[in-house]
Amino acid sequence: MKKLKGNQGELHKDVRAFCPTKYASEVFQSVDGGHGRIKTRQLHASSEIDWLRERHPERVGLNSILAVTSHREQHDKTETRYFISSLKADNPKRLARAVRAHWGIENQLHWVLDVGF
């Protein structure tokens, strides 16, 4: 699982242009709350990406693209993040867990760095 950012140039632009939220073959939604807020996450995934593999042959093992839209009710904030994955899109719940695990690892690393400094 890899989050796509703007500094990844054409790959990021291509995935955003395809917009998995419109053309997804798989969708999963979760709602959770804590610390006085409710967050809804909707994951859209597609493995129909032969066109993307052709445009980016250096991405060996690319099997799906994802768009995760998060809405936080506390601040009425909505954000969409894009990912590429070596996993197939046929199990969106598994993909959602992988995205959440990715953030857990990143948050732990930031905490260690913050405490260290």
**pLDDT tens for each residue of 66-98:** 999 988 887 788 989 999 999 999 998 898 888
Closest by alpha carbon to 84, among 57, 59, 58? 59
Domain encompassing residue 100: 2-116
State the chain's maximal CA–CA distance in angstroms: 45
Q: pTM here? A: 0.76
Q: Which residues of the chain have pLDDT under 70?
A: 1, 20-24, 35-36, 102-117
Number of domains in the chain: 1
Q: What is the pLDDT of residue 57?
A: 94
Indicate the pairing of strand 37-46 with strand 2-4.
unpaired
